[in-house]
Chains A and B, each alone.
Chain A
Amino acid sequence: MSKKVNIKICVGTSCFVQGGADLLLYNDFIDPEIIEKCEVEGTSCFNACKSSGKEGAPFVMINDIIYGDMTPVKLKKIVTEAFYARNK
């Protein structure tokens, strides 16, 4: 039984306009076999934009860790790694 990877994409205003909109097209750039075993949710602001200094929007939470400056390429990489880490 494989464990699901939990992905939360911020759809707050600030994240959405700075690239979050592209992340919502996750079906287009992540491997379908992997995305099938992920739980993808939209969520409102994590308040990460106000607290973390270095990283900027858009933010995505993967298995309870918040990642900033997310791009489709980076998201694919992290999700794939997280998936194989959980399903060795």
Chain B
Amino acid sequence: MKDIFIDIDYSQIYKNGQKIGGDVFLQKRNPERNQIVAVLSDGLGSGVKANVLASLTANMAKKLSFSPMDLKHSAKIIMDTLPVCKERKISYSTFSIADIRYNSLNSNIQVNFLEYDNPRALYFRNSNNIEWVGDVNVLNRAKAFKKEEIIHNVFNLKVGDRLIIFSDGITQAGMGISKLLGWRLSGVKEFVSKVLENNPSISSRALTKTIVNKALNLDGFASKDDITCCCIYIRKPRRTLIVTGPPFLSESDNLLCQKINEFSGKKIISGGTTALIVSRILNKKVRVDLSSYSKEVPPLSIMEGMDLVTEGMLTLSKVVYTLEKKVPMNELLNDAVKRYIELILDSDQVHFIVGTKINEAHQDPSIPVDIGIRRTLIARLRRAIEDNYLKETSIEYI
């Protein structure tokens, strides 16, 4: 598994009264070529027209970034292609393209970053802002109606670095309402450093949400423009271990416990018998917490050193069903399944240790529900969290 995780997320609020946004953010991962492209584009005007322009720009930028073409040349093509606005007689949309490439070990993350007319992106190392310049290229297009300057940067990102890209809805927030000239870049910078100082490991999702909400607040809760912010954050992955099923040979019980002890991250034990084995070998007591009662799944247990201990197959089936159907968290009962899903969604990498011993009690034909086969269930769980939630998973059998 990789030692570095690239966390990219964004938040957006449309202009007050609009049902469609003029800012478009797109990201695409290409794991085979170790490349991630993130694009933010702001179209001229607002509403449908702006959305068409921005979507066109963002999609072209995304496609062209995966081609071997030089980014600056791609920018020229994009600008030549955009349709001309009927009223203003110009074709215009801004964009920022971050083309991130890493080698297979996931160290040495290189960003090829291109900005055109968006507010300058902010670069933070931990909570310190890093000033940066970049080479300015004037495009000199034949159809240009103004001086077109593209700012190009190539740099390496390290663990703890954040690149925050936003549209002018953020920098101009509150203009004429709470602030004479709007929030401005300096204001955003100050705000972000303060947030990062208080919460150094804040996720991209939470950080962008905070920034966007602050901008909306400055606008008097009626946004004057589309407000969009996205963040690229390089961090150590959050890991979770899921242990389910007793080992095939009872001699491997010690090995299993050793693996659990050595793992750094959150630990889930899924299975009553498995919990008993771990409890016996590590000499830790398991206590069933009857307060987490639900009609569908047995209550969870509490064991020192483990983040969650649950019953096996019934809980797993419900977890798999919930993740496959993407059931929202607020619809879940407050039981073992909810705790399970919270832990999975909070991590970037999930490692499974699956015991292959068959439970004789489950072979009873009089059992009223279909209990299923552990390995099939785990395969479905892996697919659900990889496809629906873009997490990395790995598995070993014992």
Number of interface residues of A (CB under 8 A): 21
Some 10 contacts from A to B, beta carbons below 8 A apart, are: A12-B311, A13-B312, A16-B314, A17-B367, A21-B295, A44-B275, A44-B286, A44-B311, A50-B360, A56-B366
Q: Does B169 contact A (CB under 8 A)?
A: no
Give which listed residue, A13, A24, A25, A41, contacts B362 with CB less than 8 A. Answer: A13
Q: Does A32 contact B (CB under 8 A)?
A: no
A41 touches B288 (CB 8 A): yes
Per-residue 0/1 for B317-337: is the Cβ within 8 Å of any A Cβ (1 yes, 0 no)? 000000000000000000000
Nearest A residue to B368, CB-CB: A17
Contacts of B275 in A (CB 8 A): 44
Per-residue 0/1 for B356-393: is the Cβ within 8 Å of any A Cβ (1 yes, 0 no)? 00011110101111010000000000000000000000
Separation of A12 and B360 alpha carbons in the complex (Å): 13
Per-residue 0/1 for B274-293: is the Cβ within 8 Å of any A Cβ (1 yes, 0 no)? 01100000000011111001
Q: Does A87 contact B (CB under 8 A)?
A: no
- Would you give the shortest CB distance from A85 to chain B, in whole angstroms? 25
- Would you give the shortest CB distance from B270 to chain A, in whole angstroms? 11
Q: Does A40 contact B (CB under 8 A)?
A: yes
Separation of A11 and B273 alpha carbons in the complex (Å): 11
- Would you give the shortest CB distance from A57 to chain B, in whole angstroms? 8
Q: Does B21 contact A (CB under 8 A)?
A: no
Per-residue 0/1 for A5-27: is the Cβ within 8 Å of any B Cβ (1 yes, 0 no)? 00000011110111011001100
Q: Does A45 contact B (CB under 8 A)?
A: yes
B286 touches A14 (CB 8 A): no
- Would you give the shortest CB distance from A76 to chain B, in whole angstroms? 18
Q: Does B313 contact A (CB under 8 A)?
A: yes
Contacts of A18 in B (CB 8 A): 366-368
A interface: dominant SS: mixed
**Contact (A14, B361) CB under 8 Å given A41-B288, A44-B275:** yes
B367 touches A12 (CB 8 A): no
Contacts of A21 in B (CB 8 A): 295, 298
**4 shortest interchain CB distances as A-B pairs:** A42-B288, A44-B272, A14-B361, A11-B298
Binding site for B on A (CB under 8 A): 11-14, 16-18, 20-21, 24-25, 40-45, 49-50, 56-57
Since A11-B298, A12-B311, A21-B298 are in contact, a sample of 17 more A-B pairs with Cβ atoms closer than 8 Å, ordered by chain A residue number, is A12-B272, A12-B273, A13-B361, A13-B362, A14-B367, A17-B314, A17-B368, A18-B366, A24-B290, A41-B288, A41-B290, A42-B298, A42-B299, A43-B288, A44-B275, A44-B286, A44-B311
Q: Does B41 contact A (CB under 8 A)?
A: no
B301 touches A44 (CB 8 A): yes
Nearest B residue to A20, CB-CB: B298
Contacts of A16 in B (CB 8 A): 298, 311, 314
- Would you give the shortest CB distance from A11 to chain B, in whole angstroms? 4
- Most chain B CB neighbours (cut-off 10 Å) among A24, A44, A45: A44
A45 touches B314 (CB 8 A): no
Separation of A18 and B314 alpha carbons in the complex (Å): 12
Give which listed residue, B286, B299, B371, contacts A13 with CB less than 8 A. Answer: B371
A14 touches B364 (CB 8 A): yes
- Would you give the shortest CB distance from A60 to chain B, in whole angstroms? 13
Nearest A residue to B313, CB-CB: A13
- Would you give the shortest CB distance from A62 to chain B, in whole angstroms? 16
Separation of A57 and B371 alpha carbons in the complex (Å): 15
Separation of A15 and B341 alpha carbons in the complex (Å): 24
Contacts of A45 in B (CB 8 A): 272-273, 276, 361
Per-residue 0/1 for B233-250: is the Cβ within 8 Å of any A Cβ (1 yes, 0 no)? 000000000000000000
Separation of A41 and B51 alpha carbons in the complex (Å): 59
- Would you give the shortest CB distance from A39 to chain B, in whole angstroms? 12
**Contact (A44, B290) CB under 8 Å given A13-B361, A13-B362:** no
Give which listed residue, A17, A24, A25, contacts B299 with CB less than 8 A. Answer: A24
Nearest A residue to B276, CB-CB: A44
Separation of A60 and B301 alpha carbons in the complex (Å): 18
- Most chain B CB neighbours (cut-off 10 Å) among A42, A49, A50, A56: A42
- Would you give the shortest CB distance from B365 to chain A, in whole angstroms? 12
- Would you give the shortest CB distance from A84 to chain B, in whole angstroms? 25
Contacts of B359 in A (CB 8 A): 13
- Would you give the shortest CB distance from A68 to chain B, in whole angstroms? 12
Separation of A17 and B318 alpha carbons in the complex (Å): 13
